[in-house]
Amino acid sequence: MKIPLLAFNDNGIYCQQADVYLDPWRPVKNAIITHGHSDHARWGHQNYITHHTNIPIIRHRLGEINVTGKDWNETFVINNVKFSFHPAGHIIGSAQIRVEYKGEVWVFTGDYKVEDDGISVPYEVVKCHTFITECTFGLPAFNWTPQAEVITEINNWWAENKAEGKTSILFGYSLGKAQRLLKYLDTDLGTIYTHGAIENMTNVVRPLIDLPPTKLVTYETKKEDLLGNIVLAPPSAHGSTWIRKMTPFVTGSASGWMAFRGARRRRAIDKGFVLSDHCDWYSLLDSIKATGAEKVICTHGYTDIFSKYLRELGYDARTEKTQYEGETAEMEKEIETEKEIRE
Amino acid sequence: MKNFAQLIKVLDSSNKTNVKVDALTMYFKNASPEDKVWTIAILSHRRPPRPVNTTLLRNWANELANIPLWLFEESYHIVGDLAETIALIIPTTKEHSDKSLTEYLQEIIALKKKTDPEKKEYLQQNWLALNYYERFVFTKLITGSFRIGVSQKLMTRALSKAEDVDEDALAYKLMGNWDPNTITFQELILDEQNSDYLSKPYPFYLAYPIEGEVENLGNPEDWSIEHKWDGIRSQTIIREGEIYVWSRGEELVTDKYPEFKSFVGIIPDGTVIDAEILAFPEGEIGTFNDLQTRIGRKTISASLLEKVPVILKAYDILEWEGKDIRNLPYAERRLLLEQLYNSIKDKTTSFQLSERVLFHSWEDVTNERMRAREMKSEGLMIKRNDSTYQVGRKKGDWWKWKIEPLVIDAVLTYAMRGHGRRSNLFTDYTFALWQTNDKGEKELVTFAKAYSGLTDAEFRKVDDFIKKNTLERFGPVRSVTPQLVFEIGFEGIALSKRHKSGVATRFPRILRWRHDKKIDEANSIEDLKSMIS
């Protein structure tokens, strides 16, 4: 039997012909990395190859690593296999990986979204035979509202809280969501304060994106200073003593999961904004169609349900187990990182 | 409708009581009288009868979403709420409707009598004419009650603020049988007495669990002790030759317990009794499991009546000779109740007294509590002799002192996603115990379901385990590798033919996660059966 161009093994997505892994979850020799989130760019590989935008981000997370940067659409060949990075629109630097060997083309999306967020290079359709896609929100219940509307909602919320003399605390992942929120917060309303994890990551990407000024919350920050202003914090800070000291405050969270009433209530958050860096139902279906792929492999999210539906639509679709966990992972993983930062 | 949807959104999204009360108060101040009546009705679970069954509802919603039915079902299992699922999958629009809440409810009531094609047209049209949240609220009005963390008490408080009417008086006005479709706001809230006075129950007085040591309650002479019976708390009203029996959930259950019809003529008119409804098979207090055979049955067969008769075990008397006596001290009310009992006990066996326990010291009380299982009670009620009969759950004068639960270590075998705030997480679990089968092999046999008792952090860990250790899926249910052991607590236990294990437990819940135990160390069905006294 022919060896598939990309195979799923215990370490990650493996290209045997080139002896490289895509977003491996165990330490390997050669790793091609889609983006800087911790479930995709992991610690311990000997050589990293990624889009050059991601280098400072990954270094910030993992320290000194041996990494090579590539440009968009720049083809690099390893043992006759052609690789190239194409924008995935998920967060700044996020890429899809195109893999071609003897005329056969595979694309691995990593995480992606179709809507242009004004920060990451917009998603690009890459034609392929086999499309390895995430489906974090692969259920018809997920239909995103356009970004501009959600942003208006967020700024209105801030203005309301300000009018009531309260501090707004907005949760979003320190890499990606935080900068997306920051970019569009209405600075006429007040000062944007940040949690250490977000401040550090934002400083890493400031040379690449034009972002409004922020102020780090420190031990010297008085809660009176915060009143009427907004604090950007990672989800893991919810319920911490760091936050309790900011009373009176109102909490909000920006995530795709906020589409479910249950998800918001379970996290005991006052206000949920449905804003995701992943595709919703229709954009998943549309992107798959646009690639022209006949074979689809679903890696993380509602994989079983989504691939079953794809099969009904006539695709040769299946599920592979990976250790990518989409928005959940980004949230849970941060808990550990933040703890280290705080201590 | 816009304002009502906005109200629900605020109520649903806040966990802070003041925010909820403020939002409700503002709403009541601005809403029309008709909308106010409907809002009160909906928040006190008096929604109009469902005009369409849920199968049709999902088919029609599904048609608009243009997805296969199985995909709708999967989405529903994950979202955990039918109205929410429908609102989410239907393509969203920017529309909103100017129709009032009352207009919508009148349409929904009228819908019941229409033909299926008419119903379908109405629903599909309205789904598309509303924005996401209004669509959710509209569908909720059709499918079921709003579980948005607003108790009747909280709503009453807001209404009392908005209308400047005393809260306890309001609570009483909102009790009983009233129809939001015919009553006006004036009649319901503002008028002195409203028309369904005859059937109207008083708000129940509820006790808190005792805090700290029983000795801290002070002088034992100031208190009375009764057993806390394990049935259905109820209020029986006898006025003008009619009897009305209400359950604590404010459900009129008179017809389910024909035994009590005979009280008319025996118990004088103008009497209201607070009592427990108990199963009484073979002349003895039965288990809650026995009572369950009577609950939920609309028609009671003669054989069931004979096999599982019920009695009233009377705790208190709230109205006597047509007068509201809730402000008399407990001890005086009890004397009246005991006199009443003595005067009628030869005429009916269905009316019994919850006897006060004789005691001299708190030590006696402690000993009496140990007898609770033997007495078939849940524990004790401790009531201050001079206490009035209050409204709702109040601290200070009445305390419940339940017995410690029975415990057993069981293995997690199946899991299902939770509902409401727990949808999307596997939080509803099935537990099994060991049993040796005919071939002499040990196997796990299901014995109880439980979905409370763990912290949110623990639920997340178990959820993670379930997702990684799923063996098989059956719709919303997953079987998981038997590996986790939990300590399960329950209040009572009885033999049961309906359960595979042969045993039914009462109020099973998770007490703690036994990280220290392997599945071999979990208990057996035999261990469980040995607990049946």
Q: Where are the domains of chain B?
A: 2-143, 205-402, 406-529
User: Which residues contact residue A277 at a Cβ distance below 8 angstroms, ignoring those fewer than 6 apart?
Assistant: A90, A91, A111, A113, A117, A176, A177, A180, A256, A327
Distance CA A249, CA A228 (A): 9
Alpha-carbon gap: B13 to the closest alpha carbon of chain A (Å) = 6
b/e code A257-282 from CB counts within 10 Å (16+ = b): bbbbbbbbbbbebbbbbbbbbbbbbe
Q: Roughly how many angstroms between the first and final C-alpha of chain B, as a whole number?
A: 56
Write out chain A residues lying below 8 Å of B78, CB-based: 139, 141, 302
Residue A335 pLDDT:
35
Residue in A266, A272, A308 closest to B421 by CB: A266
Whether domain A7-142+278-326 has CATH 3.60.15.10: yes
Distance CA B407, CA B510 (A): 10
Alpha-carbon gap: B65 to the closest alpha carbon of chain A (Å) = 8
- Per-residue model confidence as pLDDT tens digits over B261-296: 999 999 999 999 999 999 999 999 998 888 988 887
Tell me the C-alpha to C-alpha distance, in Å, between residue B87 and each of A10, B12, B106, B111, B141. Answer: 40, 16, 21, 20, 12
Write out chain B residues lying below 8 Å of A142, CB-based: 88
Cα nearest neighbour of A140 on chain B: B89
> Choosing among B6, B9, B10, B14, which should be mutated to test the A contact, i.e. which has the most A CBs within 10 A?
B14
Residues forming a β-bridge with B450: B429
CATH code assigned to A147-273:
3.40.50.10890
Residue in A140, A142, A264 closest to B67 by CB: A140
- Per-residue model confidence as pLDDT tens digits over B54-86: 999 999 999 999 999 999 988 988 887 899 999
CATH code assigned to B2-143:
1.10.3260.10
- Per-residue model confidence as pLDDT tens digits over B346-390: 999 999 999 999 999 999 999 999 999 889 999 999 999 999 999
- Per-residue model confidence as pLDDT tens digits over B444-459: 999 998 888 888 888 8
Write out chain B residues lying below 8 Å of A262, CB-based: 79-81, 418-424
A309 to B71: CB separation less than 8 angstroms, yes or no:
yes
One of 2.40.128.720, 2.40.50.140, 1.10.10.10, 3.40.30.10 is the CATH number of B406-529, namely 2.40.50.140
Residue B419 pLDDT:
66
> Average pLDDT, stretch B207-218?
91
Least confident of A128-132, A244-248, B406-410, B498-502: B498-502
User: Which residues contact residue A184 at a Cβ distance below 8 angstroms, ignoring those fewer than 6 apart?
Assistant: A118, A147, A151, A154, A155
pLDDT above 80 for B195: no
Residue B200 near residue B175 (C-beta atoms within 8 A): yes
Provide the ipTM: 0.89
Sign of dihedral through CA atoms A175, A181, A183, A189?
A: negative
Write out chain B residues lying below 8 Å of A312, CB-based: 68
Distance CA A310, CA A179 (A): 34
CATH code assigned to B205-402:
3.30.470.30
Quick check: A257 contacting B, CB < 8 Å? yes
pLDDT above 60 for A332: no
pLDDT above 50 for A337: no
Write out chain A residues lying below 8 Å of B68, CB-based: 309, 312
Q: Of the spans B195-204, B235-244, B247-256, B524-533, which averages the highest pLDDT?
A: B235-244
Give the 3-state secondary structure of residue B432: strand
B88 to A141: CB separation less than 8 angstroms, yes or no:
yes
What strands lie across the sheet with B398-402, from one edge to the other?
B208-209, B398-402, B377-384, B223-229
Residue A330 pLDDT:
42
Write out chain B residues lying below 8 Å of A268, CB-based: 15
> Average pLDDT, stretch A284-301?
96
Sign of dihedral through CA atoms A222, A225, A230, A232?
A: negative
B499 band by pLDDT with thresholds 50, 70 and 90: confident
